[in-house]
Amino acid sequence: MQNQAYVFAIFILNGLAIGFLFDIFRILRKSFKTPDIITYIQDITFWIISGALLLYFIFKFNNGELRLFIFIGIILGTLLYMLIFSRIFIKISVFSINIIRKIFITVIIIPMKYIINILRIIIYKPIKFLYKKVGKLFRKMLSNLKRKSKKIKLNNRIYKNKKDFA
């Protein structure tokens, strides 16, 4: 009987852990906009982790035997977590993630934008200028070559025609 109470307590803790894991996935959905396919992948991942966790504890603490009190313990633990801890944990986590996101944006993203703009001014504009100048020069050279090649072809035709008459 004492062993069953111990196993029951273990599975209440297991239910608490599953509720906590579920909240982590809910927080990810609230904090980051994700496409539906990512949501499906998250759901599958949650169920795989939860199932593996349950199987491990069933084999570790109850020799693989399924008993009704195991399921009652899991449900009770999950309900306790959802009723007592879930709301607080989600609010604190979403608030923390939003603060971290704002810090990340102000410390990393905004300075990176300035650095990229400066690099674009320093590097891109001179390269663009040179590209335009070099491109203009090559176009001019190509047009000169075309004109010269037309003259050469014309002169060759005239020369060939002169040989025919000579």
Count of structural domains within the chain: 1
* Confidence category of residue 80, pLDDT binned at 50, 70, 90: very high
Please give the pLDDT value at position 108. 86
Q: What range does the domain containing 73 cover?
A: 2-165
**Residue in this structure with the two tokens 């795989």, named with its chain if needed:** 48
Which residue has better confidence, 41 or 155?
41
Contacts 24+ apart (CB under 8 A), 99-107: 101/31
Average pLDDT, the chain: 85
Does this model's pTM top 0.85? Answer: no
Confidence (pLDDT) at 134: 81
Look at 37 and 163; give whichever has higher pLDDT: 37
pLDDT band, very low/low/confident/very high, at 71 (cuts 50, 70, 90): very high
User: Residue 163: its pLDDT value, please?
Assistant: 54
pLDDT at 113 over 80: yes
Confidence of residue 161 (pLDDT cuts 50, 70, 90): low
Nearest to 53 by CA among 13, 2, 6: 13
